[in-house]
Amino acid sequence: MTVAFVTGTSPMLATSLRLSVANCVLGLSFILFVLFAMFKFACGLAQRLEIHSSPLSADALQ
């Protein structure tokens, strides 16, 4: 939806180049934020599943 918003507002803001660039930068940086949050969540979830699925704790293996 963010990409659709940015591409839809770009023609409307064609008269103001600075506003159009600011809209693209802010709108598309939101996608990077969402991808980072999803990656961080997935890594945390994988670590929690790894800890709970092992029969021995990490301290016992060392």
Q: Dump pLDDT digits (tens) for 10-30.
A: 888 878 888 888 888 888 898
> Residue 7: pLDDT band by 50, 70, 90 thresholds?
confident
> Residue 37: pLDDT band by 50, 70, 90 thresholds?
very high
> What residue spans define the domains of the chain?
2-61
Q: What is Dmax (Cα atoms) for the chain?
A: 66
Q: Please, what is the angle between helix 17-53 and helix 2-12, to 10°?
A: 180
The contacts of residue 40 (CB under 8 Å, 6+ apart) are none
17: left (phi > 0), else alpha (psi -120 to 50), else beta?
A: alpha
